Amino acid sequence: MQYFSGKTVWLTGASSGIGLAMAQQLADAGAHLILTSRRAEVLEQVRQGLAHPERHRVLALDLSQPEQAADQAREALGDQVIDILINNAGVSQRSLILETDFDVYRQLMEIDYFGVVALTKLVLPRMAERRNGHIVTVSSVAGKVGTKLRSGYNGAKFAVIGFMDSLRAEMAEHDLVVTSILPGFINTAIAHNSLAGDGSALGKEDPDNAGGISAEECARRSLEAIAAQKAEVIVGSGLSKLAPLLQRISPAFVRRMVAKR
C-alpha cells in the first residue's frame, strides 16, 4: 500500500492480535513504525521480526495510566514527526453488571478511551500546524451496539466513537484525516485477555470471536480503509458486521436480539 511508504506510523497495541498483524503489513508497505504496548521485551521481539527492523523503534507505555504515558511519550519522541497515529491498544470485558467491580469500569475507560484522547492530543498540535496527519482509532462494533457482558467495554467504545466524530469535525479545517475502524468478531486472544468482574483476566475463549475473521484479514481491510482515508469502516463478517446497520433500521429488533443472546 503506497500510502504508508516512508511515513512514520505510531501504532499502539502492537504486540499481539490486530496490532501485530498491522505492524507486519505496515512494515512490508515501507512504513517507519513506532511500536507501543506495555512490555518492551515483547515489542523488541516484534521489531526484530519485521521487514527492515532498523527502520522501527520500540516505545513501551502503560495506557492504563494515560497522563503518565503521554508524558513519557512526549519525552521519548521529542520533535519527531508523526504522520499517522493508530490508536489500537485496548482491553475488553466479559462480566455481568451486577458482578462487575467499579474499578473495572474505570480501567476500561482509562485504556480504551482516555488512552486514545491522551495520545491524540499529544500529536495533534504539530499535525494541525503542519496541516498534515492522520488519526486512526480502532474502536469496535461494540461502540455502536450494546450487548450483555460488555457494559464497560461498550461504554468506552461508544465514548471513543463520539470523540472521533468530534475530532473529525474540528480537524476538517486543518486538513487532517480522521478514521474510525470498527471490528466485529475477530479471531484473536481478546477474550482471553478480557477483564472479568473482579478485574482478573478471563482466561478463556469466546465462541463469537473464535468464529470471526483472522487478525491478518482484519488488519488488511483496516489498512486499506486507512489508505483510502475513509471516515469510518466496519470490519468483520456475519452478524457482527450487520449489527450496526440493523441498529439503525430496527433498534427494537436489535434490543430483543441482544436480550436473548
Could you give the residue numbers annotated as active site? 153
Q: Per DSSP, what are the bridge partners of residue 168?
A: none
CB 123 within 8 Å of CB 80? no
CA 106 and chain centroid, separation: 18
CA 163 and chain centroid, separation: 13
CB 27 within 8 Å of CB 33? yes
Distance CA 121, CA 100 (A): 31
Distance CA 136, CA 88 (A): 8
Query: How many other CB atoms sit within 10 Å of the CB of residue 72?
Result: 15
Distance CA 220, CA 215 (A): 9
Distance CA 116, CA 69 (A): 11
What are the φ and ψ backbone dihedral angles of 43, each rounded to 5 degrees? -60, -40
